[in-house]
Every structure is written in structure tokens, then in C-alpha cells.
Amino acid sequence: MKDIQFDRHRRLRTSDTLRSMVRETWLRKEDLIYPLFVVEGENIHKEVSSMPGVFHLSLDGVVKEMTELVNLGIKSIILFGVPKEKDPLGGQAYHDHGIVQEATRLIKSEFPEMVVIADTCLCQYTDHGHCGIIENGQVLNDPTLDLLARTAVSQAKAGADIIAPSNMMDGFVAAIRRGLDEAGFIDTPIMSYAVKYSSSFYGPFRDAAHSSPQFGDRKTYQMDPANRLEALREAESDVNEGADFLIVKPALSYLDIMRDVKDRFPLPVVAYNVSGEYSMIKAAAQNGWVNEKEIVMEKLTSMKRAGADLIITYHAKDAAAWLSN
Ligand code: PBG
């Protein structure tokens, strides 16, 4: 081995301290957004069978849950509503006493510091499970926009700090921005699901939210996983329409897209670490096949390295606890 030339990268890896001094990416509690499923009814605290550790919660359990989150140092949640009644137009999504509106009022009155993000979509609220109005088996784009704007305004009225539209109709950011502004909510930001793929990784969520489409699929509005340029066009439209944050969803199989979005648009980027990504790790960990803590922290750190500023994740409670130790 005499006279060969090479670099000594291992010099910077010789101790824990040195490694932490040269670490480029850090996960912080402030990065974590915890998804919460709120359901109508009483005394409900029911584990979602395909998502161990994730629960359906009725309003009476919300204060206890929030106390736990605050104690863990989690500063933000995203609310998903599971209504009792569904109809073709998703009326409970924009009802002033809908489950998300009620939960938001309760949380903001008891925990004013908690940043409440309202997921704005119709699929949990429509009897057909699609994210928009249906006519002749088609999901109509433009008429759906009015319902989304109404939903966003009723969520903002209830006190939501951020509106997060996830339904992938064209023009939804423009429509919601106009609705919010006209109702006086000029300071309520929009966290847009700008880049949302039609993904099998949403399977467990649809169990949790009872939101599977009753016919067909979501491929006419959600994106083809094979496409990258299309993601940039989607993100660009949302930026032009007034989005304040850009979500890339799912996260793990789309880290390349996250990097592209981060490099091109000067907005905070949010990774949505979706249900299927969560459940796979849970299942493997329960079998003893992976080290849950290490694999979760590696995965969340990878999302930040790929450009995410914030991460919506069902692992948030665990990660916050691990970050404290
Ligand atoms: C729908 C919506 C979905 C998720 C959040 N909102 C997926 C879908 O059914 O298309 C998925 C979240 C997850 O899988 O964790 N508006």
C-alpha cells in the first residue's frame, strides 16, 4: 500500500462529540407536526387496527391528549375529522359544528399556543369517498372549489391557525385564498398539499379516516408516482396562487422530489410521512426485525436532509420523547 494517495474521511468520525460537531442535519421537536383523528361520539379512544399507537379520539379525550403533546414539546397538530354522517356533497366538512371545527374551538380555547392545522378535504365527508363533487362518475373540479373554500373559511372561523388543503383539484389554493381573504382571514396561511401522489402508502389512513373511494380511484386528481416534472408544475401553480408552505406527500419514496421542490421554491417545505410508511415500520418493529427508535430517527433525519423544514408524522410523539433523552 505504499505511495497510494487518498483522503482520510474517517478523521471526522472518531468520537461521538466530533461526529456531532460535523453533523449537517438536525431533527428538532419544532419540526414535528402530529396528526390527530377526531371522531364524533363519546368516550372513544380506539386504536386504528392498521396503525398501532394511533387512535380515534372523541372530543372528551382531546384535552388529555393535548396535555400529553404539550408535555412532550410538540407544538403543532394537524386535524382529520371522522364524521358520523356522510352525504354526496360532504356537508359535514363545512358545517360550523363539524367535528374538526368543534375540536379546533376546544383546542384553541384550552391550548392557545398549540398551532392547529386543519386538513381541508371532502373525502372523509362524502358518501362516495371522493375528494370532490361527482357527476356521471366524474369528479368535477370547479364546483368543488366553492365547497373547499367554504370548508377552509369555517375552519378558520373556528380558530384554525393554518389551512391545509389536500384534495388536489386544480385551483384550490387560489379559491381558498380568495375565500379566506374575503372572510377577513388575510393572515391565515395555506399549507398546500402541492405535490400529492396517487399512492398505495395511504392504505392505513383510509382505514383510519373511513375515506376509501367507493368506486374507481384517485388517479384523475392525484399524481402519477412516475412523474417528476409534473411535481414541479403542481408546486409552481400553488406558489403562484399564494401557498405559504408546500407539502410533498408521501415522503419516503419521494425524497428526490422534496429536494427538487426545496431547491426551486423559496417556501417552507413539509414532508408528509404517511400512514403506510408508519405502519410498515411498526409492523417490522413489533416482529423485532428492526430497531424502531433508530430506524425512525434515521428516516426523519433523511427527510430533513432531503429539504423538508417540517414533518407531519405519526411518529411525532415517540420522536419527541427520544429527542428529550
Ligand atoms: C385525503 C388524504 C389522504 C391522506 C391525508 N388526507 C389520502 C388519500 O386518501 O388520498 C393520507 C395520509 C396518510 O396516508 O397518512 N384527503
Which of 260, 292, 195 minimizes the C-alpha distance to 234? 195
Residue 65 in any domain: the answer is: yes
CATH of the domain at 226: 3.20.20.70
| Number of domains within the chain | 1
Range of the domain at 204: 28-324
What is the reported pLDDT for 2? 81
Distance CA 259, CA 129 (A): 32
Residue 30 DSSP label: G
The pLDDT tens digits for 10-61 are 999 999 999 999 999 999 999 999 999 999 999 999 999 999 999 999 999 9
Mean pLDDT of 103-110: 98
The alpha carbon of 114 and the centre of ligand 1 are apart by a number of angstroms equal to 23
Pocket test for ligand 1, best of 121, 128, 163 (most atoms within 8 A of CB): 121
In this structure, the residue with its CA closest to atom 14 of ligand 1 is 202
What is the reported pLDDT for 276? 97
3-class SS string, 205-230:
HHHHHCCCCCCCCCCCCCECCCCCHH
Active-site choice (108, 157, 249, 304)? 249
Mean pLDDT of 208-237: 92
The alpha carbon of 119 and the centre of ligand 1 are apart by a number of angstroms equal to 10
Buried-state track 43-77, b at ≥16 Cβ within 10 A, e below 16: ebeeebebbeebbbbbbebbeebbeebeebebbbb
Is there a binding annotation on residue 154? no
Q: Catalytic residue at 299?
A: no
Confidence of residue 303 (pLDDT cuts 50, 70, 90): very high
Residue bearing cell 456531532: 20
Residue 15 in any domain: the answer is: no
Atom of ligand 1 nearest to the CA of 168: 16
Residue 5 in any domain: the answer is: no
CB 80 within 8 A of CB 125: no
pLDDT at 212 over 90: no
The alpha carbon of 206 and the centre of ligand 1 are apart by a number of angstroms equal to 7
pLDDT at 208 over 90: no
Residue 214 in any domain: the answer is: yes
Residue 23 in any domain: the answer is: no
Q: What is the pTM of this model?
A: 0.96
Residue 84 in any domain: the answer is: yes
Residue 195 in any domain: the answer is: yes
Residue 161 in any domain: the answer is: yes
What is the reported pLDDT for 217? 86
Q: What pairing do the DSSP bridges indicate for beta strands 55-58 and 133-135?
A: unpaired
| % of the chain beyond a pLDDT of 90 | 91
Confidence of residue 95 (pLDDT cuts 50, 70, 90): very high
Residue bearing cell 412532550: 72
The whole-chain average pLDDT of the chain stands at 96
ipTM score of complex = 0.94
| Bridge partners, 196 (sequence order) | 249
